[in-house]
C-alpha cells in the first residue's frame, strides 16, 4: 500500500494538482487591478506633489533672501521662475518619480517594514537630487537654474517624502486604535448589560453533521464553551465521544421550535449555523421543506440571535452559488445557482446580510465541495463517493470529467470556521469568504484519475454529463490574504485517508443511508420530524436571485405564518434580557466580569498587533 506521503504518478505533490496542467492559476480580477493602479497612481501623484511643494518653497526662500520685502520677493520669484525655475521644477519632479520607480517604491515597498521603507525613500531622494543635478549642469547656461533653490528642494524632498509616509502610517494606526477602542467599549457595555446571563458560549446549530463533527473537537480542545443545537438526523454517533465534555451543552431539538431556539441563544455571543438540508439531491427531495429549513429558519435563527444580543453569526454557504461559469470566480462574482440547494444559500446570504449591523456581525463562508473523514463522513460527495466505489465496486464512473469544482478537506473547512471565530470582529463582519485553495480546483476527471492511481484495479469510465450543470473554478485569494488561511490537506492525502478508513473498516458500507443525506431522507425521512409549512416570503425569495426582486420580497412581502411566531419569540427574548438586566450582580460575578475585561483588553492588544500585519497584507483589498 502506498504511504500517506506518497503520491500517484501524474500528480504534482508540491502544488497538489495534476502535473499535466500545472494547476489553475486564477487570473487577477480586473477590479482588483484597477484598485491597485489607482493606489499606485495616487502615490506617484502624492510624491510628485511633495517634490513640487519642496521646489516652490525653496524658490520662494531664494527669492525672499535676494529681496526681503513682499513686493520685491514676488518680483524676484517671477524672474527666477522663467525659465530657470520652471526647468528646475520639471527636471526635479521627473527625477524624483523616476528614482522612486527604479527603487521599487511603487511596487515592492508594501512588503518592507516601515524603517526600511523610510530609509529607501531617503536614498531615492538622494539619487533623484544627484541625477537632477547632473541634468541641470548639462543644460545651456542660458537657462539660469537657481542653484540654491535646487539644493534646498533636494534637502526638503529628502525630509518630506519619508515624513509623509510616516504620517500616513501613524494616521492608519491611530484610526485602527480608535476602532479597537470602540470595539472594546461596545463589548464592555454588552458585558455589563448581559453579565448576569452571559457565559460566552458558541452555539453551533447543526453541529452533529459532517463539518460540525470536525469543528466541535476543535472548539472544545481550545477551551471554548460550546452549545450544540441539533435534531441529530444522522444520529449522535458523529459526536458521541464529546457528549460528556464539561464544556459542551447539548440541546437535542429541531431548530424550527422557537422555544428551543430562544433557550439555545441564552448566554451565547457567537452562533455558527451549519444546519439544514444539504446537497442538491437532498434539497430536491422536498422543495417546500428545503425552503423552510434552509431559508425561512436561517432568517429566524439570525433574528432571534440578534435580538438575544449575539454579536457574531457565521453562516455555512457553498461555492455552488456560482453554479456554472467558465471564469475563475471570486466573492464578488455574480451568482448563478443551478439548483434549489444553491438558491436557498443565495437567498439566505441575502437575508443575513440585511441583518448585519455594527453589533451583529455576519460572516458568510462559501465552502468548496468537501472531502475526507470526520465524525460523520458523507459518501454523497464526489471525492468520497468515487473513492468508495473504486474500493468496493471496482469502478469509477464520472459524469462529465471536464467539470471543474473547488475542493476542500472537512478538517480544513472546520479550521476555517475556527479561524473566523478567532479573527477580530471588525475584520470579518459583513464579509464573505470562499473556503478552499486555488490549488484544489480540479475537474471530476482529475479526481477520477487520482483515485484510479490508488486503486488501479478499478475501471475508470467517463459517461458524459448527466443533469448536473455545475462547473466552476474559484479564487480563494481573499481568505488566504485576509485571514492567512491555507489548507493543511491535499486531495492526494484526502483520497488516501478515505481509502484507509474503508480498508480498515473504520467506516462501514458506503451505501448505508446514514452516509448520504438524500438516502437518509428517502429511506428514513419522517414527516413528523420534518412537517412542511407554507411560506410566501421564502417562496418569493427562492424563485428569484435578482437583487431587485430580493429587496422587494424582503421589504414588502413578509407574510409567512412563521413571522408571527418570530414576533412572539422575540418578545420572549426581550423579556428575558430585561429580567436578567434587573438582577444585581453578585460579588463573585462582578469579580469574574472584571477578570474577563482584563482578558479582553489583553486579547485586544494581541489582536491589534495581528490586525496591523493583516492590514499591511491586505493593502487596498475591496470590501464586499
Ligand atoms: N459538505 C459539503 O461539501 C458542503 C459544501 C458547502 C457548504 N456546506 C454547508 O455546510 C453546512 C454543513 O454541511 P454538512 O455537510 O456538515 O451537512 P450535514 O448534512 O452533514 O449536517 C447538517 C446537520 O444539521 C442538522 N439539522 C438539519 N436540520 C435540522 C433542524 N431542523 N434542526 C436542527 N438540526 C438540524 C442535522 O441533524 C445535521 O447534523 C451546510 O449548511 C452546508 O450547506 C457543506
| Block residue for cell numbers 417562496 | 539
115-140 pLDDT, tens digit each: 888 888 999 999 999 999 998 888 88
Q: Is 318 in the pocket of ligand 1 (CB under 6 A)?
A: yes
Mean pLDDT to the nearest integer, 413-420: 97
Q: Is 275 in the pocket of ligand 1 (CB under 6 A)?
A: yes
Is pLDDT above 90 for 378? yes
Q: Is 479 in the pocket of ligand 1 (CB under 6 A)?
A: no
CB 443 within 8 A of CB 401: yes
Angstrom CA distances, 484 to 410, 425, 527, 617, stand at 18, 16, 44, 9
Mean pLDDT to the nearest integer, 545-557: 46
Q: Is 210 in the pocket of ligand 1 (CB under 6 A)?
A: yes
Q: Is 100 in the pocket of ligand 1 (CB under 6 A)?
A: no
Q: DSSP letter string over 570-618? A: HHHHHHHHHHHHHSPPPHHHHHHHHHHHHHHHHHHHHHHHHHHHHHHHH
Query: Is 197-376+406-441+470-488+511-556 CATH 2.40.160.210?
Result: no
Residues 6+ apart with CB under 8 A from 425: 183, 311, 312, 361
256-266 pLDDT, tens digit each: 988 899 999 99
d(CA 435, CA 277): 20
Q: Is 363 in the pocket of ligand 1 (CB under 6 A)?
A: no
| Cα 391 to chain centroid, rounded | 36
Query: Which residue owns the Cα nearest ligand 1 atom 12?
Result: 274
477-488 pLDDT, tens digit each: 999 999 999 999
pLDDT-derived band at 324, boundaries 50, 70, 90: confident
Find the helix or strand (DSSP H, E) in which 250 lies. Answer: strand 248-252
CB 308 within 8 A of CB 264: no
Query: Which residue owns the Cα nearest ligand 1 atom 14?
Result: 210
| Block residue for cell numbers 484610526 | 175
Angstrom CA distances, 473 to 58, 72, 93, 138, 478, stand at 57, 70, 45, 57, 15
Is pLDDT above 90 for 610? no
Burial 534-556 (b: 16+ CB within 10 A, else e): ebebbbbbbeebeeeebeebbee
Question: Can you name the residues that pair with 315 across neighbouring β-strands?
Answer: 273, 364
Distance from the CA of 87 to the center of ligand 1, in angstroms? Answer: 70
First CA to last CA across the chain, in angstroms? Answer: 47
Q: What is the CA radius of gyration of the chain?
A: 31
- HEC string of 78-125 equals HHHHHHHHHHHHHHHHHHHHHHHHHCCCCCHHHHCCHHHHHHHHHHHH
pLDDT-derived band at 3, boundaries 50, 70, 90: very low
Q: Is 215 in the pocket of ligand 1 (CB under 6 A)?
A: no
166-179 pLDDT, tens digit each: 998 889 888 878 77
The predicted structure's pLDDT at residue 27:
41
Most confidently predicted of 143-147, 153-157, 197-201: 153-157
pTM score:
0.65
Is pLDDT above 80 for 244? yes
Query: Which residue owns the Cα nearest ligand 1 atom 40?
Result: 274
Burial 185-194 (b: 16+ CB within 10 A, else e): eebeeebeeb
Query: Which residue owns the Cα nearest ligand 1 atom 30?
Result: 254
Q: Is 132 in the pocket of ligand 1 (CB under 6 A)?
A: no
Count CA atoms closer than 13 A to 86's CA, side-chain side: 6
Distance from the CA of 142 to the center of ligand 1, in angstroms? Answer: 81
- What residue spans define the domains of the chain? 30-186, 197-376+406-441+470-488+511-556
Residues 6+ apart with CB under 8 A from 257: none
The predicted structure's pLDDT at residue 174:
86
The predicted structure's pLDDT at residue 601:
60
Scanning 365-474, the segments in alpha helix (DSSP H) are 382-393, 410-422, 425-428, 444-454
Strands, E assignment, 185-235:
201-205, 226-230
Question: Is omega for the bond preceding 83 within 30 degrees of 0, making it cis?
Answer: yes
533-543 pLDDT, tens digit each: 545 556 666 66
Is pLDDT above 50 for 560? no
pLDDT-derived band at 338, boundaries 50, 70, 90: confident
The predicted structure's pLDDT at residue 604:
58
The predicted structure's pLDDT at residue 241:
95
Mean pLDDT to the nearest integer, 464-471: 70
Is pLDDT above 80 for 466? no
Query: Apex CA 490: angle with CA 315 and CA 337, to 5°?
Result: 40
Q: Is 293 in the pocket of ligand 1 (CB under 6 A)?
A: yes
Amino acid at each position: 500500500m502506498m504511504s500517506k506521503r506518497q503520491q500517484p504518478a501524474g500528480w504534482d505533490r508540491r502544488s497538489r494538482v495534476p502535473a499535466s496542467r500545472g494547476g489553475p492559476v486564477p487570473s487577477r480580477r480586473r477590479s482588483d487591478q484597477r484598485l491597485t493602479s489607482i493606489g499606485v497612481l495616487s502615490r506617484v501623484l502624492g510624491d510628485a506633489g511633495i517634490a513640487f511643494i519642496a521646489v516652490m518653497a525653496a524658490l520662494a526662500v531664494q527669492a525672499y533672501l535676494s529681496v526681503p520685502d513682499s513686493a520685491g520677493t514676488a518680483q524676484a520669484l517671477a524672474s527666477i521662475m522663467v525659465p530657470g525655475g520652471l526647468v528646475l521644477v520639471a527636471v526635479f519632479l521627473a527625477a524624483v518619480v523616476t528614482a522612486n520607480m527604479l527603487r521599487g517604491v511603487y511596487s515592492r515597498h508594501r512588503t518592507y517594514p516601515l524603517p526600511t521603507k523610510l530609509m529607501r525613500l531617503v536614498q531615492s531622494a538622494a539619487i533623484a537630487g544627484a541625477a537632477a543635478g547632473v541634468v541641470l549642469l548639462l543644460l545651456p547656461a542660458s537657462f539660469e537654474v537657481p542653484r540654491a533653490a535646487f539644493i534646498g528642494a533636494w534637502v526638503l524632498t529628502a525630509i518630506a517624502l519619508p515624513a509623509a509616509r510616516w504620517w500616513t502610517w501613524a494616521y492608519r494606526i491611530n484610526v485602527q486604535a480608535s476602532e479597537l477602542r470602540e470595539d472594546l467599549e461596545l463589548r464592555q457595555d454588552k458585558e455589563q448589560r448581559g453579565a448576569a446571563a452571559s457565559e460566552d458560549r458558541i452555539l453551533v446549530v447543526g453541529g452533529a453533521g459532517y463539518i460540525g463533527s470536525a469543528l466541535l473537537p476543535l472548539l472544545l480542545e481550545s477551551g471554548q464553551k460550546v452549545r450544540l443545537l441539533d435534531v441529530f438526523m444522522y444520529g449522535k454517533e458523529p459526536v458521541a465521544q464529546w457528549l460528556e465534555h464539561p464544556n459542551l451543552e447539548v440541546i437535542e431539538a429541531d431548530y424550527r421550535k422557537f422555544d428551543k431556539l430562544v433557550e439555545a441563544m441564552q448566554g451565547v455571543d457567537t452562533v455558527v449555523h451549519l444546519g439544514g438540508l444539504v446537497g442538491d439531491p437532498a434539497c430536491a427531495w422536498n422543495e417546500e421543506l428545503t425552503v423552510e429549513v434552509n431559508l425561512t429558519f436561517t432568517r429566524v435563527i439570525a433574528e432571534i440571535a440578534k435580538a438575544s444580543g449575539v454579536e457574531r453569526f457565521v453562516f455555512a454557504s457553498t461555492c455552488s452559488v456560482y453554479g456554472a461559469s467558465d471564469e475563475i470566480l471570486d466573492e464578488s462574482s455574480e451568482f448563478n445557482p443551478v439548483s434549489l440547494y444553491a438558491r436557498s444559500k443565495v437567498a439566505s446570504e441575502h437575508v443575513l446580510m440585511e441583518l448585519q449591523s455594527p453589533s451583529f456581525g455576519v460572516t458568510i463562508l462559501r465552502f468548496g465541495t468537501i472531502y475526507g473523514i470526520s465524525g460523520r463522513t458523507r459518501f454523497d460527495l464526489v471525492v468520497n463517493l468515487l473513492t468508495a466505489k473504486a474500493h468496493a465496486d471496482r469502478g469509477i464512473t464520472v459524469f462529465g470529467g471536464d467539470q471543474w469544482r473547488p475542493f476542500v478537506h472537512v478538517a480544513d473547512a472546520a479550521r476555517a470556521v475556527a479561524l473566523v471565530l478567532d479573527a477580530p470582529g471588525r475584520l470579518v463582519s459583513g464579509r464573505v469568504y470562499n473556503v478552499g485553495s486555488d490549488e484544489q480546483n480540479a475537474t471530476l476527471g482529475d479526481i477520477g484519475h487520482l483515485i484510479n492511481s490508488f486503486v488501479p484495479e478499478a475501471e475508470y469510465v467517463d459517461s458524459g454529463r448527466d443533469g448536473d450543470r455545475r462547473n466552476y473554478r474559484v479564487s480563494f485569494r481573499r481568505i488566504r490574504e485576509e485571514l492567512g488561511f491555507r489548507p493543511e490537506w491535499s486531495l492526494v492525502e484526502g483520497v488516501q485517508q478515505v481509502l484507509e478508513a474503508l480498508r480498515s473498516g473504520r467506516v462501514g458500507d458506503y451505501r448505508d443511508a446514514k452516509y448520504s443525506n438524500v438516502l437518509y431522507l428517502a429511506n428514513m425521512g419522517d414527516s413528523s420530524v420534518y412537517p412542511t409549512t407554507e411560506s410566501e416570503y421564502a417562496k418569493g425569495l427562492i424563485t428569484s436571485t435578482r437583487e431587485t426582486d430580493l429587496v422587494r420580497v424582503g421589504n414588502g412581502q413578509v407574510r409567512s405564518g412563521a413571522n408571527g411566531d418570530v414576533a412572539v419569540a422575540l418578545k420572549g427574548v426581550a423579556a428575558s434580557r430585561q429580567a436578567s438586566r434587573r438582577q444585581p450582580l453578585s460579588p463573585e460575578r462582578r469579580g469574574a466580569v472584571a477578570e474577563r475585561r482584563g482578558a479582553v483588553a489583553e486579547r485586544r492588544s494581541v489582536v491589534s498587533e495581528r490586525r496591523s500585519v493583516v492590514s499591511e497584507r491586505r493593502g487596498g483589498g475591496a470590501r464586499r
